[in-house]
Amino acid sequence: ELPPGQFPARRAAAVAAAAVRHRRGGPARALGLRELRRARREDIEDVGHKYYLELELEDALDKDSTVNCTAEVLYHVGNKNIAPDVQFTLEGELKSTEEADHMFYTWVRSLEKELVAENIPDSHGHVPAELEPIRLLAWVASGYLIWQNSTENTHLQLAQIKHVKQVKRSDEYLQFDYVVLLHEMVSQEIIPWEMTVLWHPRDGVQVTRDSRQPRH
């Protein structure tokens, strides 16, 4: 049993929340960690450290909407290059974002020029209203980057979108090429990362290509 206030449990919770956010997110839904209720750790010899977590997640667009989640995070000991395994179950249903998804999808498809934007949020924390879905999409996609690149000694967060460029496709997917900044809290480093994100209202958010950039 682990005290939820201490960092090992909190880091594992962040990884679980990141994975959930990626798998269940979209431009109108991004789940964030509201509270870590309980945590337990099991050391599995020759395999790794497994965390059993009870979380409360909240909808970024509606703080009053929360969902309970149980998750297991297994950090592999030995080969640090393997992403942690994450399994989770959400209690109950998430409300539908069909309408908002459709509106966003239609709006982007209708743009004559490909969407380009920088510094979201800006230095003062502002996000123009029409770019909020672009922001949410990045936060959801960064959940994948965070999940895939976490260890017990890291705690990654999305700090800012430096640059985003829409890429028009011949199929029905929307494609956005992002350069994001990830904040690694233990080393306090800011890590630029490129990622290509695909989305369609029917599908989830996919990160099809990603690459860590050298510090500038």
Question: Which residues contact another protein by CB under 8 A?
Answer: 4-7, 10, 14, 32-33, 35, 60, 121-126, 139, 157-160, 181, 183, 185-190
Least distance (Å) between residue 157 CB and another protein:
4
CB of 131 to another protein, least distance (A): 14
- Comparison of 120 and 195: residue with beta carbon closer to another protein: 120
Q: In the complex with another protein, which residue's Cβ is closer, 92 or 125? A: 125
Angle between helices 7-24 and 132-148 (to 10 degrees): 120
Considering beta carbons, is residue 4 or 173 the nearer one to another protein? Answer: 4
Residue type, 128: P
In angstroms, rounded to a whole number, what is the distance separating the alpha carbons of residues 173 and 157?
A: 26
Task: Kindly give the pairing relationship between strand 31-44 and strand 48-59.
Answer: antiparallel
* Sheet order of strands, 205-212 included: 116-120, 156-167, 174-184, 189-199, 205-212
The nearest distance, CB 17 to another protein, in angstroms, is 9
Least Cβ distance, residue 59 to another protein (angstroms) = 12
Name which of 63 and 109 has its Cβ closer to another protein: 63
Q: Report how far apart, in Å, the C-alpha atoms of 179 and of each of 44, 73, 120, 136 are.
A: 37, 27, 11, 14
